[in-house]
Amino acid sequence: MNRRKFLGTAAAAGAAVTARIVPARAAREILVAEPVHSTGYLPLYIAMAKGFFDDVKVNIVTIESGSGHTNAVLSGQAFAFIGGPEHNAYAKAKGAELRCVVNCVDRGNNYFCAAKGQEPTGTDWPGYIKGKTIAVGPFGGTPNSIARYLLAKWKLDPKKDVTLIETSNSATIAVVRSRQAQIGEATEPFVTQGVRNNVWSEPFFNVPKELGPYAYSTLNVRLESIQKEPELVRNFARGMAKGLKFLYANPAESADIAKAQFPTMPLDDLRATLDRSFKDEMWSRDGMVSHQAWETASAVVHEAGLLKSDIKYEEIFDMSFVEAVRPTL
């Protein structure tokens, strides 16, 4: 993979950059910031690999620092970020304008896994979790918000009843392996990697199934980009929608593209990861975000205490681009 340095604010946040190049015919180059390199973002990687972004060369920057991917867009150093649209709501509450223009992950891509020998014996989650240490993603990131939301639902105080070790999403395996935590909250492919390496057991709590439709990872841009470069935004939304459609129509070739993105991941682990994601209906099929999906995402961050304002769907979502390109797919 080609490596490049990401300058400015993102660099201060600890960015690890990986540039992935689409066909040479691309005339415009844009940067998309991601909070972790994840199989959950496979539709984006497919769209890049297949050249679905018309006349656009897409590069990826990975910023594992809670809101670093959002800040990269707000500062103008990235065209879009893939991640929770609640970051659009946070920005809106502070006077900035971001919009989700196309969906990607339509379920909460998180699973709670118990360290080997620490598995629950029933489904009394508050009783099981109380007093334990949980490895979670960085504060401000969606996985962290989900953990806090569930703790609130279970009437557990994150400061008194449990200990949260907030680390990068990719480091949760190491935290549990070193016995610093008894529970790990993880996304794929880290869930499967932890299972296959005997760090933890199969998930005891399945967030995709438990929470249902959830605007978990969407593609988000500045409102200014929509106003000044609508054709670029339209091409971007079309490419993502094509990637989603291709994923479901061509699972075998999609797996090959995933393998290229995760070359060190054993093939059996990758297959297990993708099988879990398909089974749990992880990805959007058409790029649209439903009102229900935002209601769930909004409830999570409100309950977690991260969003105080009532941000309406229309204030942070613009589905007009997906609606416009759907007949052309």
Per-domain boundaries in the chain: 2-108+212-328, 111-211
Mean pLDDT estimate for the chain: 90
- 40 touches 86 (CB < 8 A): no
Other beta carbons within 10 angstroms of residue 24's beta carbon come to 7
How many whole angstroms separate alpha carbon 192 and alpha carbon 230? Answer: 39
Other beta carbons within 10 angstroms of residue 86's beta carbon come to 27
| pLDDT greater than 50 at residue 20 | no
Other beta carbons within 10 angstroms of residue 155's beta carbon come to 9
CA dist 261 → 40, 136, 189, 217 (Å): 12, 24, 12, 18
Q: What is the pLDDT of residue 174?
A: 96
Closest CA to 5 of 16, 13, 224: 16
How many whole angstroms separate alpha carbon 100 and alpha carbon 120? Answer: 38
Whether 111-211 and 2-108+212-328 are alike in CATH topology: the answer is yes
Task: Look at residue 82 and give its three-state secondary structure.
Answer: strand
Q: What is the pLDDT of residue 327?
A: 82
Mean pLDDT of 264-273: 90
How many whole angstroms separate alpha carbon 184 and alpha carbon 200? Answer: 8
CA 179 to chain centre: 26
95-109 pLDDT, tens digit per residue, is: 999 999 999 999 999
| pLDDT greater than 70 at residue 269 | yes
* pLDDT-derived band at 6, boundaries 50, 70, 90: very low
CATH class, domain 2-108+212-328, is alpha beta
Task: Please name the residue ranges forming H helices in the chain.
Answer: 9-12, 42-49, 68-74, 86-93, 125-129, 142-153, 172-177, 190-196, 207-211, 223-228, 230-249, 251-261, 267-279, 291-303, 313-316, 320-325
Q: What is the pLDDT of residue 25?
A: 52
290-307 pLDDT, tens digit per residue, is: 999 999 999 999 988 889
Phi/psi of residue 135, each to 5°?
Answer: -85, 120
What is the value of pTM for the model shown? 0.84
CATH label, 111-211, candidates 3.40.190.10, 3.40.50.2300, 3.30.300.30, 3.40.50.720? 3.40.190.10
- 63 touches 137 (CB < 8 A): no
Closest CA to 67 of 42, 49, 43, 93: 93
179-223 pLDDT, tens digit per residue, is: 999 999 998 888 999 999 999 999 999 999 999 999 999 999 999
* pLDDT-derived band at 66, boundaries 50, 70, 90: low
